[in-house]
């Protein structure tokens, strides 16, 4: 049984073909620069194996349909393909960024589901239209294949009102659905399930804090297997300090910048999303560059690291208060999985709360899930690689079974 996982962006298509019996990735790739003068498709067959093979095509790619047809051509290539023809695809899973309050779970795609994704475009104007492009193209190419929408926001729909409501006029929620939604839900759900397995407990019995640290960052408090609070808000700007996003700040900042710097709202939005965070503080948003700069004596790089890890620590402490009992803290995503300094600094001083990490275990590099806390730590600490494509494929399997 082969599943096709699609993550469609405004000018890109990221994809994987997964053999679900063994959860083996048969092919993975990225179509980018769709609609530009020169497009690019990079496909890897059987990644991580002795027979791994890469193919790169560079040519104009007019639209998502043409991009998808190029992908199908490679996947069905007689010499190196991984499927004989498109009929070998049993199901397709689509990443959809925003499901609003319409979707608490992944769901089979129907005309009504497409209408609901369209209704939520105002909540994700850059992402949902691109996700819809991928859905429409896939439904045209694979009209008879079972297709599922997997929503970034769905996992967080278990948050109680006191966690997702903003203290604004209630009419904004009633009329415009202004509230906290949260994102990265597929990643948080996946690592929570992996952590429960490592703890030897059913997920509904676990209280966890999952910390997703990459260029985008978020944290989730999980009580009895359900998200009860998360750091990202109505948009992916709120919460932790990110690569180029500010995270939490005084909401009056917009008025200050307008009155004192003459900035328009659009320029402020660009600044907060693309020119702030680590990049705004020190000019760099790659944590590897920041660590090197700190080693070279760069004070602003050291400040950026301190600001980010302090914000992480503050949120972890807040979520410990929310949950009361915490079984484990989980670090994931690019920085969370690979940066021992950020992990150590994010947990600094938390021994009083029963959080103790083993410095030697924390410093080890591995692509495998692992525990980095000491034996006497009352809260276990894990590093668990996220795998959003596999998580989407598993969600598709769950919908089929359901």
CA-to-CA separations, 240 to 9, 12, 159, 236, 316, in angstroms, rounded: 24, 27, 19, 10, 11
Residue 106 and residue 96: Cα distance in Å, rounded? 10
Side-chain half-sphere exposure of 247, counting CA atoms within 13 A: 26
Residue 14 and residue 381: Cα distance in Å, rounded? 31
Q: Which of 152, 229, 327, 339 is the catalytic position?
A: 152
Token pair of 146, please? Answer: 């079972």
CA-to-CA separations, 306 to 23, 291, 332, 352, in angstroms, rounded: 39, 11, 19, 21
Kind plus residue range of the DSSP H or E element containing 233? none
Residue 279 and residue 285: Cα distance in Å, rounded? 5
From the list 269, 209, 200, 192, the residue with the least C-alpha distance to 236 is 269
**Torsion sign (Cα): 344, 200, 185, 222:** negative
Contact of 211 with 331, CB cutoff 8 Å: yes
| Strands of the sheet with 370-371, listed across from one edge | 226-230, 217-223, 208-213, 328-332, 380-383, 370-371
CA-to-CA separations, 194 to 223, 329, 331, in angstroms, rounded: 15, 12, 12
Largest interatomic CA distance in the chain = 64
Task: Give the distance from CA 71 to its chain's centroid.
Answer: 24
Residue 374 and residue 371: Cα distance in Å, rounded? 9
Residue 171 and residue 168: Cα distance in Å, rounded? 8
Verify whether residue 152 is a known catalytic residue: yes
Residue 76 — φ and ψ, nearest 5°? -105, 10
What count of residues does the chain have?
Answer: 402
Residue 293 and residue 215: Cα distance in Å, rounded? 18
List active site positions: 152
């Amino acid at each position: 049984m082969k599943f096709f996982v699609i993550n469609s962006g405004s000018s890109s298509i990221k994809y994987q073909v997964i053999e679900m019996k063994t959860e083996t990735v048969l092919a993975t790739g990225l179509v980018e620069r769709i609609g530009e003068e020169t497009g690019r498709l990079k496909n890897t067959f059987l990644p991580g194996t002795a027979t791994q093979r890469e193919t790169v095509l560079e040519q104009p790619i007019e639209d998502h349909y043409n991009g998808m047809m190029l992908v199908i051509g490679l996947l069905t290539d007689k010499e190196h393909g991984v499927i004989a023809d498109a009929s070998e695809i049993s199901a397709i899973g689509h990443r959809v960024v925003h499901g609003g309050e319409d979707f608490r779970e992944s769901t089979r795609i129907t005309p009504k589901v497409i209408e609901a994704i369209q209704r939520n475009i105002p909540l994700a104007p850059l992402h949902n239209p691109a996700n819809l492009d991928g859905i429409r193209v896939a439904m045209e190419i694979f009209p008879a294949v079972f297709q599922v929408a997997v929503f970034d926001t769905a996992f967080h729909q278990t948050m109680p009102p006191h966690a997702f409501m903003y203290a604004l006029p209630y009419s904004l929620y009633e009329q415009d659905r202004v509230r906290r939604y949260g994102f990265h839900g597929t990643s948080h759900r996946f690592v929570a399930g992996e952590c429960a397995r490592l703890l030897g407990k059913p997920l509904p019995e676990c209280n966890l804090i999952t910390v997703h640290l990459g260029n985008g960052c978020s944290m989730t408090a999980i009580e009895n297997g359900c998200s009860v609070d998360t750091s990202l808000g109505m948009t992916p700007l709120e919460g932790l300090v990110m690569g180029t996003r500010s995270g939490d700040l005084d909401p009056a900042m917009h008025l200050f910048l307008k009155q004192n710097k003459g900035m328009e709202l659009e320029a402020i939005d660009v600044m907060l999303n693309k020119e702030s965070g680590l990049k705004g503080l020190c000019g760099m948003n790659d944590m590897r560059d920041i660590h090197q700069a700190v080693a070279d004596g760069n004070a602003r790089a050291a400040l950026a690291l301190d600001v980010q890890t302090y914000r992480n620590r503050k949120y972890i402490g807040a979520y410990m208060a929310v949950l009361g009992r915490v079984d484990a803290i989980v670090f994931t995503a690019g920085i969370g999985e690979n940066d021992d300094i950020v992990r150590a600094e994010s947990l600094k001083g938390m021994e009083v709360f029963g959080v103790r990490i083993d410095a030697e275990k924390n410093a080890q590099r591995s692509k495998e899930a692992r525990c980095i806390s000491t034996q006497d730590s009352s809260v276990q600490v894990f590093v668990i690689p996220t795998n959003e494509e596999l998580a989407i494929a598993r969600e598709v399997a769950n919908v089929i079974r359901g």
